Structure 1
Amino acid sequence: MKVWFRRLHLVLALLSGLFLVSLSISGGLLLYAKDIQAWINPQYWLVEDKPNPLKKAYLPLSELVERIENKTQQKVLIIEQASQINHSWQARLANKKYLNINPYTGEILLEHRFYDTFYGFVMSWHRWLLYTDEQGKTPMKVWMSIASLILIIEIVFGVYLWLKPKHRLKRLKVRWRAKNRVLLHQLHGTLGVLFALPLILIAFTGMTFQWQAQTKAIVQWLTLGQVEQHTFKGKVSDSKNNFQLDKAYMNAKSALADGSVYRIYLPKTDQQPLALRMKMPQESHGYSWSWANPYSGEVLSTFNAGKASWTTQVWNFRYKFHIGEFIGWPVKVLWLLISASPVFFVFTGIYLWLKRVKVRQHQQVRENLKRAKR
């Protein structure tokens, strides 16, 4: 049985190796992609302080939207606020272009397609290997999820191979002065066991973005609960009155006063509300919502995900867990090391296999020579 698990472990590594290496490298870059692009082109991603705009208040939402639409002649659909006061905001237009804007002055710092940025490029590499067909679909996306699933199976097989013999804990010891083949074999096994659980969870949370229904069912089964979702499907009824965007924004924000605004979804039609996606103090990311009538300013509905069920909290935590943005920078550094580990496992696994093949060939040659002498 052990021999068959070892062979399956090898075959799966050979079949998925290139995908896993790609996921590993792009995933590591994605952890710091936003920081890298801000460092390379700070004039697009950071707000300059000449004169110091950080001492000023943000422009009223209505004025910010008006300035953008006058300059671009395009309707603003979404505005994403930055979590740091010296970072630019992003706006998405009706023509699917993005703008980096100064929220203090309304100045447009950069107009771009999302996947033309460094962060967007790395994300498309990580999720679908940069390939988009003529219909605009990304067929490689499912294969990246399949590779993640294979990685989970690989880890389970590897842990089984570690558990099978005796003296398991002793075999976690690494002899740094051993020969290369022995050293790499020990590192391969030891790091595989140490990184097994976080790697499985990182791979699984990555799969949730492709196979949402299936992975959600697994989370619900494990946590014995249901994921709560709330959307406002009603229509506004005062569309003949004057647009009161600032009043609606302030009321919607005040309805979840302890939260911070993450994204602003402006009405696409006269019958749609203003929607705020918000992050509550109990949340790792913005999953709470507040809806308001943009004509009367009336708050229509709210959803505080910070007070949702345990199952919902676990499900919502998957994004921040996947990218290592929780607790602080030490976790992110650790996630970088863990993200790089599949590259090490693939290459050391293939190296050790080739070494075994070479040893077997030498043994076969010696046996043939012995038989010839007889």
Structure 2
Amino acid sequence: MIERRIASEVLARLGETPALALLGPRQVGKTTLALEIGETRPSIYLDLESDADRARLSEPELYLATHEDELVILDEVHRMPDLFQILRGIIDRGRRKGLRTGRFLLLGSASIDLLRQSGESLAGRISYLEMRPIDALEVPAADVELLWARGGFPDSFLASSDRLSQRWRQDFIRTYLERDVPMLGPRIPAETLRRFWTMLAHHQSGLLNAAEFARGLGIDNKTVAIWLDLLVDLLLVRRLQPWHSNSGKRLVKSPRIYVRDSGLVHTLLGLATSEDVLGHPVAGASWEGFVIETLIATAPEGTEAHFYRTAAGAEIDLLLTLPGGKLWAVEVKRSLSPKVERGFHHACADLSPQRRIVVYPGSEAYPLSDGIEVMSLRDAGQALLAEHRA
């Protein structure tokens, strides 16, 4: 078992709020974590993709009233959106009885639908957490390269061979295309959406050019935007927004696009092993996305993530605005002897960040000129975790 860092936060939130929504893509470990928590207290688990469990909730108020002293875990809760209005009344009646925290743990595989449904009915009664794939601080240092190659979904990372890991990811992609997307989003031919997802992998870390995607797929720009929104809402793709300021600089305004899990990037491109990845042009962009996902996952709550790029060539791969306004500038290099380009120096001169970090695949931390720190991904993540406690 891999101990997930989010577990302590889930327990803390359950002690503070009546309902907690734990969001994340399928197979990321939400159910496993929820069942582990359920074993520590009186609880009941209902899988709303199961006909039998949905039948139990044919009269939800009556059924849930018999379990008001237990933690009720509702898996794939977006399958029963009408439930949210009922939960509101149950939570409010419970509060009058002194039952104020730890009533419901809601698990969902899509962000936007769940947020909209629960936001309408459970405002002030629910907290949200995103459970991401395993990151570089949740595995031993020696396994970081394997994690990058296979991605952070537990069954993919823990597979007994590269072949089985690749097969698991292929099945995962197929399931999303043939089952989950039709259920949660517009009707899109599976093969066409696969081509789009693969194009995104080829353009990993690139600026969004909707017209280019539209030409390649024979669709219009508006359809590209709808499909991209869907993959973002399913927590499979990240749109990293550009930094905006009133500095008078001509800033790039298009977001950067990343397939969030590096293992899915590699499988979409037909790369099964670490050697395959290292010999492919996507290696640098894939490593960049892997680093960015880990640093966003370890950053304090409330941190905002952007990239910075001007028309003159000043550029920062990841700009983190921590609570309190601290700016961290992060450059990502896939080299054991990283060199910092002038664009990073110019960007730091524009923004004066508190910390200037170059993340590389080595293990030794050392300083460069102009206050730049070179460090491993694990060290950079640990530095961000330390900000939680600062």
Indicate the TM-score class for this superposition, using the shorter chain for normalisation: under 0.3
Q: TM-score, normalised by structure 1?
A: 0.21
1 or 2 for the larger relative contact order (CA 8 Å, sep ≥6)? 1
| Structure number having the greater strand percentage | 2
Q: TM-score, normalised by structure 2?
A: 0.20
Instruction: Kindly name which structure, 1 or 2, has the bigger radius of gyration based on alpha carbons.
Output: 1
